[in-house]
Amino acid sequence: RQDNRIKTLMHVTPQDRLFVLTGAGISAESGLATFRGSGGLWNGYRVEQVATPEAWAADPELVWHFYSQRRRNAISAQPNAGHIALAKIEHQLGDRFYLCTQNVDELHEQAGSQRIHHMHGNLFQSRCTRCNQPFSDTALYETAATLPTCDRCGSPVRPHIVWFGEIPLDMDAIYRKLERATVLLVVGTSGSVYPAAGLVHIANQQGTRTIYIGPEEPLNHEAFDEILLGTATELLPALVP
Ligand code: APR
Ligand code: ZN
């Protein structure tokens, strides 16, 4: 039955417009821990305790340290066959492909993805809390002992990460792309964080075919037309002819 479903997905034709949404699960087989899985704790903290504006206000060093460590993990990780398969699909579909990721690593880019949007920010960027000056100087993270400050206005520099309670980046562009998509493929996200988890509902309303890939059903599973149970590296390469 699963084989049949994979064949169905392979019928993404050159006329289709494919919108892909990925979550932490696609990087799991590259060795990066997911948030809500068994390894979802960081030094005994729940992610919600370090990834919030409140946590930043209370203990910026802790938050900076959290992201420094995640950034180091991301640097030593390699893209897996799932990331690579998506890059190949993009190569075939060109402008009919759009990748929206909740992940803050750059494994999609390393695999060759180009039409990609990081809706929850990026581990390799930071910005001034006051004047919004962006920083991509990775050395900022290496000196995690002291918090970096903006060279323009002297205010604290924060990770360019969308925290709980903050609005994801460029939602307008995401909705515009989704509006035009004929297929929504969601990979490796638990369906627990909105607005990302709500994209499948929008797709349904407009008649876009919806497919989920991951080892277990997401929380919003009832909204999907098709669910393929398996890991990203097991299932995504099979989609590339
Ligand atoms: N292949 C595919 N999916 C996998 C794999 C794998 N090898 N391993 C685990 N998964 C799935 C899990 O079954 C789970 O559904 O990946 C999902 C990971 O879920 P979460 O840890 O909740 O991660 P995600 O959904 O990306 O989190 C959303 O929450 O913490 C915030 O901003 C953060 O972007 C993040 C958001
Ligand atoms: Zn500044």
136 CA to centre of ligand 2 in angstroms: 14
127 CA to centre of ligand 2 in angstroms: 8
Burial of 154 (0-12, 13-18, 19+ CB in 10 A): exposed
210 CA to centre of ligand 1 in angstroms: 18
147 CA to centre of ligand 2 in angstroms: 14
- Atom 9, ligand 1: which residue's CA is nearest? 25
Considering only residues 221 and 9, tell me which one the structure prediction assigns the higher pLDDT: 221
Reduced to 3 states, what is the DSSP secondary structure of residue 75? helix
Q: Output the pLDDT for position 4.
A: 47
Residues with a beta carbon under 5 angstroms from ion ligand 2: 128, 130-131, 133, 150, 152-153, 155
Q: Output the pLDDT for position 25.
A: 97
Considering only residues 48 and 135, tell me which one the structure prediction assigns the higher pLDDT: 135
Is the ipTM higher than 0.95? The answer is yes
What would the two tokens of residue 237 be? 């390469």
Four-point Cα dihedral 55, 60, 61, 63, nearest 10 = 50
The average confidence (pLDDT) of the chain is: 89
Q: What average pLDDT does range 196-214 have in this prediction?
A: 97
What are the angstrom distances between the C-alpha of 164 and each of 47, 56, 82, 121, 167? 9, 11, 27, 12, 8
Q: Which ligand is nearest to the CA of 123?
A: 1
Please give the number of the atom of ligand 1 that sits closest to the Cα of 163: 32
Measured in degrees and rounded to the nearest 5, phi and psi for residue 22 equal: -115, 155
Worst-scoring range by mean pLDDT, 51-55, 63-67, 76-80, 222-226? 63-67
Q: Output the pLDDT for position 1.
A: 37
Best mutation site among 26, 29, 34, 164 for ligand 1 pocket (most ligand atoms within 8 Å of CB): 34
Q: Output the pLDDT for position 10.
A: 58
pLDDT tens-digit series, residues 119-150 = 999 999 999 999 999 988 665 556 556 788 88
pLDDT above 90: percentage of residues in the chain: 71
- Asked if 188 and 28 count as a contact pair (C-beta separation under 8 A), the reply is yes
Whether 120 is catalytic: yes
Name the active-site residue from 83, 108, 120, 160: 120
Question: What is the reported pTM?
Answer: 0.94
Q: Output the pLDDT for position 24.
A: 96
Q: Output the pLDDT for position 114.
A: 98
Q: Is 190 in the pocket of ligand 1 (CB under 6 A)?
A: yes
Q: Output the pLDDT for position 181.
A: 97
Reduced to 3 states, what is the DSSP secondary structure of residue 240? coil
Is 89 annotated to bind a ligand? Reply is: no
Q: What average pLDDT does range 22-47 have in this prediction?
A: 83
Q: What average pLDDT does range 223-239 have in this prediction?
A: 94
